[in-house]
Amino acid sequence: MEPFKTFTGLVAPIDRSNVDTDAIIPKQYLKSIYRTGFGPNLFDDWRYLDPGEPGDDHSKRRLNPDFVLNQPRYQGAGILLARKNFGCGSSREHAVWALTDYGFRAAIAPSFADIFYSNSFKNGFLPVQLPEQVVDTLFQQVHANEGYRLTVDLENQQVITQAGDSHAFEIDAGLKDRLLRGLDDIGVTLTEAADAIRRYEAKRTQQAPWLFPDRQA
Amino acid sequence: MAGKTLYDKIWDAHVVEDYGDDTALIYIDRQLIHEVTSPQAFEGLKLAGRQPWRLAANLAVPDHNVPTRNRENIEDPVSRLQLQTLDQNCTDFGITKIEMLDRRQGIVHVIGPEQGACLPGMTIVCGDSHTSTNGALGALAFGIGTSEVEHALATQTLILRKAKNMRVTVRGHVGTGITAKDIMLAIIGKIGTAGATGYTMEFAGEAIQDLSMEGRMTVCNMSIEAGGRAGLVAVDDRTIDYVKGRPMAPSGELWDQAAAAWRELVSDADAVFDKEVVLDAEDIQPQVTWGTSPEMVVPVGACVPDPADEADTSKREGMQHALKYMALEAGTPITDIKLDKIFIGSCTNARIEDLRAAAAVVRGNRIAVNIKEAMVVPGSGLVKWQAEKEGLDKIFQDAGFQWRDPGCSMCLGMNPDRLSPGERCASTSNRNFEGRQGAGGRTHLVSPAMAAAAAIAGHFVDVRKFVEENTEAAAL
Ligand code: SF4
């Protein structure tokens, strides 16, 4: 996984709360068996005027000129600014894959849905939680200033504006460390915990043998 | 020291390594797998040359893409490839799989409890948010993303952060005609779709104890719609009776041992919850959602709310947006809303009791002329078989309903069943998001009995009055 340290990028605002993962990547694209290629269908229902299906040539579809990501000033955006409970609904990790495939590296919102939040960290995508008033201010600034960029500094847990204002954010130390180092969770667990898992299984097979029909003599 | 909640007990029993800071490596007893969220996980294993840690902990079944008729011939090549990929991966790795044409096939969250693959006290995961359904068994069950599916396959563990404890108590008893679905929609209406974010919800109180296991599954199913990642109901006699004799449940001596241990799966009397929510059961009316989020819900006797009455700007805008999408005017009585389609199915409400409840309303009636399509999609092949044994299929078909094969069907429209743009549907599923049942489709979430009554009337009706009037008519 690509480590995340500091990222500076153009900010695109999605000004609604409870943006669900069905909206981020509609279900028809979940039929893919790959991890990549979801970018053209990020926010598909909002982004295009005509319906799309997997396999379509999405560059030929009619864009909705009113949708934020279609406006010239937000081309090349790397940070998504959102409202509360972003990423709610289905557990589909495809939502994060679509965001990263499109080119986003981070999202800033007052809150994120639980599963979306943990999925993000597995993909080098940083969900930054800031207080609602701060997010309000950022929305005002991004609307008012074309080319509005922010820097997300994970090491120091700060979101920094071009004017030099900074907003501190909280993050779980373990998640931060994994993201900073770009670690492969499975590799780490297998290297560091394989013995502990075996010990647990041995003990648990004694305590709750009905859970281990495969280990019964 | 305060006692432990049920969640604390299950969590503590599964800690492999404590990382401090409320984070731990947690052992996973059961992983359920379906075709949509697993291909990339298996691909990851293959690329890294890894094997599943414990094959017997996994059980796979196809459900989301499976057509509900003519499934021998899947027309959509993309769906077909995804289903074949699940087959191939299970064969390659040696994972037990229920085949699409097997009578036991069904929605993953329906077959887990049905087969006894999910047991009280287990940790259960699946790459699907409605895994929470299994919490009805007194198991810690929650949805995960594909990277975690791969992690669970490869290590039989997950790195998790412990959630906080919330207890939702539904005091007293519900009135006639009020179902588990109404209870849960009322809870979501009260606390909102982010109300339980960061919490595991335990459902308690007389009204929850009164529910059958299937009703409890309906409640736990929609924990995620309240923001909770998992929902739980304490184990009681009903739980143990339900599990007994299921194909994958323990038997003989192991059964006695297990059943004795499961009796401990209740929150201690002195356990402290971080948040308590209380509802009075007798206040709960049949619920209907009017908007594009499950929290946009009102009793059937109410009117579509007016955004002008909402003080919070962002909420007001959300309501305006939803009304526009749903093509509804503020102030319209819910019972004036006419429907195009009726969907009785999904992991929320497609078990046998749901079908019985709907059939009881439908019996001897015909669907209204304005209903273009009404379908019943059993949650599993075994539910379908049971319903047919009881003649429910006849009741539905005589009334003009279609009787389909099991799967996710129109709950999310990944298969051929879906709404066309602008169509309005009374649905027993769990999500009314924009486009959820098909691009431009408009979804109203209701209980099976309410959906059945709406099918007959052609618009929403209070199922309690509907049943009364129909029985009177029949008596004349
Ligand atoms: S029935 Fe609907 S909610 Fe349930 S698993 Fe299938 S798609 Fe998901």
**DSSP structure string for B300-316:** TTSBPPPGGG---HHHH
Q: Give pLDDT, residue B43.
A: 94
**Tokens at A72, concatenated:** 């010239």
Instruction: Find the CB nearest A30 among B36, B55, B129.
Output: B36
Please state, for a pLDDT cut of 70, what percent of chain B lies above it: 99
Ligand 1: does its nearest atom lie under 6 Å from the Cβ of B347?
yes
Ligand 1 centroid vs A153 CA: distance in angstroms?
38
Chain A closest CA to B455's CA: distance in Å?
27
Angle between helices A114-121 and A94-102 (to 10 degrees): 50
User: What pLDDT does residue A183 have?
Assistant: 87
Burial B180-207 (b: 16+ CB within 10 A, else e): bbbbbbbbbbebbbbbbbbbbbbbbbeb
The residue type found at B6 is L
Of B250, B318, B414, Cβ closest to residue A27 = B414
Which of B16, B25, B65 comes nearest A31 by C-beta? B65
B residues 429-468 closer than 8 Å to A (CB): 431, 433-436, 439
Cβ of B82 and A31 within 8 Å? yes
Token code pair at residue A64 = 């909705």
Mutation target vs B (from A24, A90, A191; most B CBs, 10 A cutoff): A90
Interior angle at CA B9, CA A206 and CA B220, nearest 5: 115
- Max CA separation in chain B (angstroms): 72
Q: B18: burial class by Cβ within 10 Å (0-12, 13-18, 19+)?
A: exposed
Q: How far is B175 from chain A (nearest CA, A)?
A: 30
pLDDT band at B470 (very low <50, low <70, confident <90, very high): confident
Ligand 1 atom with the smallest distance to the CA of B350 is 1
**B455 CB near ligand 1 (under 6 Å):** no
Tell me which residue has its CA closest to atom 4 in ligand 1.
B347
A128-142, B230-244, B401-415: least confidently modelled range: B401-415
Instruction: Please give the annotated binding residues of B for [4Fe-4S] cluster, written as ranges.
Output: 347, 408, 411
Contact yes or no for B38/B92 (Cβ under 8 A)? no
Give the residue-averaged pLDDT of B202-231: 97
* pLDDT classification of B475: cutoffs 50, 70, 90: low
Determine the atom of ligand 1 nearest the C-alpha atom of B431: 3
Cβ–Cβ pairs < 8 A, chains A and B = 193
* Res A16: pLDDT: 92
pLDDT value at position B2?
A: 85
What are the tens digits of pLDDT across the range B284-334? 999 999 999 999 999 999 999 999 999 998 889 999 999 999 999 999 999
Tens of pLDDT, residue by residue over A84-138, are: 999 999 989 999 999 999 999 999 999 999 999 999 999 999 999 999 999 999 9
In this structure, what token pair is assigned to residue B367? 């669907």
Q: Would the pLDDT of B1 be above 90?
A: no
Angle CA A86–A88–A91, to nearest 5: 125
User: pLDDT tens digit string along A139-198?
Assistant: 999 999 999 999 999 999 999 999 999 999 999 998 999 999 998 899 999 999 999 999
Q: Is the pLDDT of residue B476 over 60?
A: no
Does residue B284 sit at the A interface (CB-CB below 8 Å)? Answer: no
- With CB atoms and an 8 Å threshold, state whether A114 touches B17: no
Q: Output the pTM of the full model.
A: 0.95
Classify residue A176 as exposed, middle or buried by CB count within 10 Å of its CB (0-12, 13-18, 19+).
middle
Say which of A91, A122, A214 has its CB closest to residue B56. A214
What is the pLDDT at residue B314? 84
Q: Which of B28, B36, B47, B253 is most worth mutating to test chain A (most A CB atoms within 10 A of its CB)?
A: B36
What is the whole-number distance in angstroms between the Cα of residue A105 and the centre of ligand 1? 29
Residue B468, pLDDT score: 84
CB contact under 8 A, B144 and A115: yes
CB-based contact B48 A186, cutoff 8 Å? yes
Cα radius of gyration (chain B): 22
- Report whether residue B377 contacts ligand 1, using a CB cutoff of 6 Å: no
Span B82-101, average pLDDT? 97
Write out chain B residues lying below 8 Å of A54, CB-based: 78
- The finding on whether B110 has its CB within 6 A of some atom of ligand 1 is no
pLDDT band at B469 (very low <50, low <70, confident <90, very high): confident
Confidence (pLDDT) at B473: 57
Answer whether A122 sits within 8 Å of B257, measured CB to CB: no
Mutate which of B126, B130, B437, B445 for ligand 1 pocket (most atoms within 8 A of beta carbon):
B130
Q: How far is the CA of B377 from the centre of ligand 1 (A)?
A: 12
Average pLDDT over residues B9-34: 96
Which among B38, B63, B78 is the top mutation candidate for probing chain A, defined by the most A β-carbons within 10 Å of its own β-carbon?
B78
Give the integer Cα–Cα distance in Å for B416 and A27.
Answer: 12
- B 372-401 → A contacts, CB under 8 A: none
**What is the rounded average pLDDT of the residues B115-140?**
98
**Residue A167 gets which letter from DSSP?**
E
B contact residues 342-361, partner A, Cβ 8 Å cutoff: none
Residue A217 has pLDDT above 80, yes or no: no
For chain B, the average pLDDT equals 96
Question: Given ligand 1 and candidates B133, B408, B436, which is best to mutate, with the most ligand atoms within 8 Å of its CB?
Answer: B408
Write down the ipTM of this complex: 0.95
Task: For residue B334, give the amino acid letter.
Answer: I
Q: What does each C-alpha distance from B217 to B123, B131, B232 come to in angstroms?
A: 16, 10, 9
